[in-house]
Chain A
Amino acid sequence: MSEKNKIQVIHLKKKYETSDTKKSLLFSKNINPDAVFAGAEEGYVLNDVSLEIKEGEFHIFLGASGCGKSTLLNIIAGFLDKTEGKVLLDGKEIRKPGRDRGVVFQNADSAIFPWLNVYRNVEYGLKVQKVNKAKRKEIVQNALELVGLSEHARKYPSELSGGMKQRVQIARSIASDPEILIMDEPFGALDAQTRRTLQDELIQIWQKTGKTILFVTHDLQEAVYLGQRISIFSAAPDANIATRVEVPFAYPRDLNAPEVTTFTAEVHQKLDEAINAHGTSDVDKSA
């Protein structure tokens, strides 16, 4: 992790407008459009979020459901307009989506292109960026190797498991060589076994590529297993970053090591404190 700031969020505020409805529905899950319409008048979802993420950092966002994690990532990805404040990537303000920010969506089925095979899915970004064919081939093959899908390059998404589809998404983002990787609960829909494998693979990919990763999770254990720093949200409305924790362990981590369990318990407590002003947390502490 270098000392250079990759992402700066400065006094960011977000209040949903009715015009946002369509846009943010794209990313957030289970939101009833009518409720959204009513909620749009209500005030700030995010109120004064400031944070810095260093180049090459593995950064986790942790918080209760509905506190605004997806909202923040949507804004950073450029899918959603902010109300006030600034979001900078390498010192430049973010306005719309761009290939400097790779996004790995939670639902791989809606994110990858079922009409393209694995190879062509991964090649997609390079193709629209008009990278020449020889170069594309080299990059795609490397990306596929990185996620362990070289053997499956000719398969179509319908022939892949959930875990493999997420690997396709990761490879597809990495192939475009983005500055940062945005991941909103990417492993949330996977079974425990696959989830663990993908976590390990993600750590390796991160170490190999040195990408800055912004990762949202509900899962405290996942947060401690993966992250270098954890930003903990306060509860909605008017959520902001309540605390930031550094995870002091080297990789690969052993979640059963006593110092790690103690640390996890501390993070858990911080999370409860952050949330406790309003309502209760439904963050998964058991997993």
Chain B
Amino acid sequence: MAASNARAVLPQNAGVTVANTIQQTEHKTEKRAIAIKKAKTAGEKILKSGIVTWLLLLLIWQIASLFHSPDFLPGPAKTLQGFLEVAKSGVLWADIKISLQRVGIGWARGILIAVPLGLLIGAFKPFRWIFEPFINFFRFVPAIGFLTLFLMWFGVGEASKTVLITYASIFPIIINTIAAVAAIDPVKYQAAESLGANKLQSFLTVTVPGAVPGIFTGLRLGLSGAIISIVAAEMLAANSGIGYLVYTSRLYYRTDWIFVGIVVLGLIGFFADKLLRFLAKILLRHYGVKE
């Protein structure tokens, strides 16, 4: 009896255990699914943050440098060493400061010239007739082409450098501003007119705010134009600046310093653009500025 009872009980218990296990495994797979999902979003987050890109870049750089002498292609470590050298001596910070200053002044002047001009060209035909040929001619002449001329005309001081940077930043700003004006919905002008706005008021209250998204794109491209041209600007007749650092390091066979200069330029541009976009997100939210 006892034995048969026991036998009778056994399968029952066994059944319970099986059910339990099934439940448990179900539970487990569910947990795993959630874990996978979490990992997925976390993975996406990491990818999105750009860390992977940076690591990959470093890795490729490192591998590439293994096959070459450091004088030809210094790796990340060697560059870091070079960085510490120039950073400690204080040269780097002075260079960054002066370059930022030049870029800032040149770009700001570019904005002051290009935005109003772009708005006027976009909004009023006579301006377009007068200025468009100019723009379409000079925008194909790179800043570096004017290097020697600017030195001759504006001297070896700061003026020639900021003029060059201004020149480089003007065209993307002007062209994007003109395009932005053209993209404004004409119904907005009709609405303004029916509400009593005259031509000048339409310009100030429709054209100007309506062009903000395009102007912003222009500012970003103009800034990159300004930063790109800093090397050219500091190539001749300068004794400071990141461009100067890059250009003169060649003379001392300090390839690692050239790399420091390149990385610093890239980082300046990267963060300046990030800052610009951040500010736009806060200040220009309602103007339709898209990231």
Contact = CB atoms under 8 A, between A and B. Distances in A.
Contacts, number: 77
Contact of A128 (B185, B187, B205, B212): B205
A111 B187 contact: yes
Interface residues of A, number: 33
A125 B198 CA distance: 11
A110 B286 contact: no
Contacts of A129: 195-196
A103 B197 contact: no
B181 to A, nearest CB: 15
A218 interface: no
Interface string A87-131: 000000000111101110101001111111100000011001100
B193 interface: yes
B196 A115 contact: no
B194 A101 contact: yes
**Range of interface residues on chain B?**
20 to 34
B185 to A, nearest CB: 4
A77 B192 CA distance: 12
Interface string B48-79: 00000000000000000000000000000000
A114 B287 contact: yes
B12 interface: no
A105 B186 CA distance: 12
A156 interface: yes
Nearest to B208: A115
Interface string A138-157: 00000000000000000010
Interface in A164-208: 172-173, 176
A26 B196 contact: no
A27 interface: yes
B205 A27 contact: no
Interface string A64-76: 0000000000000
A111 B201 CA distance: 16
B290 interface: no
Interface string A49-81: 000000000000000000000000000011100
Contacts of B191: 103, 105, 111-112, 172
B104 interface: no
Nearest to B200: A128
Given A105-B187, A110-B185, A128-B201, A115 B194 contact: no
Interface of A: 22, 25-27, 77-79, 96-99, 101-103, 105, 107, 110-117, 124-125, 128-129, 156, 158, 172-173, 176
17 contacts: A22-B186, A77-B194, A97-B193, A99-B194, A99-B196, A102-B194, A110-B185, A113-B188, A114-B288, A115-B209, A115-B210, A124-B192, A124-B205, A125-B196, A128-B192, A129-B196, A172-B191
Given A110-B187, A129-B195, 18 more contacts: A26-B189, A99-B194, A102-B194, A102-B195, A103-B190, A113-B188, A113-B206, A115-B212, A115-B286, A115-B287, A117-B286, A124-B192, A125-B195, A128-B195, A128-B198, A158-B286, A173-B195, A176-B195
